[in-house]
A = this chain, B = another copy of it.
Amino acid sequence: MEERKISRAVIGRLPRYYRYLGDLMDAGVERISSNDLSKKMNVTASQIRQDLNNFGGFGQQGYGYNVKYLYTEIGKILGLDRSHNFIIIGAGNLGQALANYASFEKSGFLLKGIFDVNPRMEGVSIRGIPVRMMDDLKKFLQENRIEIAALTIPRSKAKEVAEMLVENGIKAIWNFAHTDLNLPKDVIVESVHLSDSLMQLSYNVSSQKAKKEK
């Protein structure tokens, strides 16, 4: 594929395209026009055409997009055409929730280990994966090729654990701890800050209320 600088905004929208195209595929749809896709996704058709043109476009004027082809190509761009080994640090409710998402595995994210500090969790299995103790993490990382670590631990421990992970070769962290991680530039951090999301919701609720009261 031709190399181009793709904007963060476009990349941010790709998973959503991927999701809708997957649904269309499941529904047996083979082709879709940018207009029809636009109605489904609630974005303009011109936005869709622009976004997909970033990758050389996949459509033919008047024929619409080949759903399966587009799905596969976006999957490749997102790196879903190969598998990614990942571990979860923190076997609390959130860690267990992530471990139980079967859909991650379908997208190539293979859960290889779950770690916790709580001795009561030792040996408990989640989807066939035993929870291991944090003391075993370093050795585990040396013996297994792990790419991604999901951090579902309290913020007070996050910095220390993240640094230890990086020292042991982890290059990507999916961070659920409610803090930002300052790690070397070549480490990829994707944070999910649930409180921030809840505050956005609260802002929107409040500003809508203010509108109505006028």
Residues of chain A at the chain B interface (Cβ within 8 Å): 11-12, 14-16, 18-19, 41-42, 77-80, 84, 92-94, 96-98, 100-101, 103-104, 107-109, 147-148, 171-172, 174, 178-180, 182, 186, 188, 190, 192-208
Q: Among the listed B93, B193, B199, which residue makes an inter-chain contact with A14, where contact means beta carbons less than 8 Å apart?
A: B199
Q: Is the CB of B94 within 8 A of A203?
A: no
Instruction: Please give, as numbers and ranges, the residues of chain B lying within 8 Å of A42 by CB-CB distance.
Output: 180, 182
Distance in Å: Cβ of A20 to nearest Cβ of chain B: 9
Q: Is the CB of B205 within 8 A of A147?
A: yes
Task: Give the docked Cα–Cα distance between A190 and B101 (Å).
Answer: 20
Task: Give the docked Cα–Cα distance between A203 and B197 (Å).
Answer: 22
Q: Is the CB of B93 within 8 A of A202?
A: no
Q: Is the CB of B206 within 8 A of A79?
A: yes
Distance in Å: Cβ of A103 to nearest Cβ of chain B: 6
Closest 6 CB pairs of A and B: A79-B206, A93-B97, A15-B196, A190-B201, A94-B97, A15-B199
Q: Is the CB of B204 within 8 A of A190?
A: yes
The chain B residue with its CB closest to the CB of A200 is B190
| New A-B pairs, 18, CB < 8 Å, besides A78-B199, A190-B201 | A14-B203, A15-B199, A78-B202, A78-B206, A79-B202, A80-B199, A84-B205, A92-B97, A93-B94, A103-B195, A108-B202, A148-B202, A172-B204, A188-B204, A190-B197, A190-B198, A190-B204, A192-B194
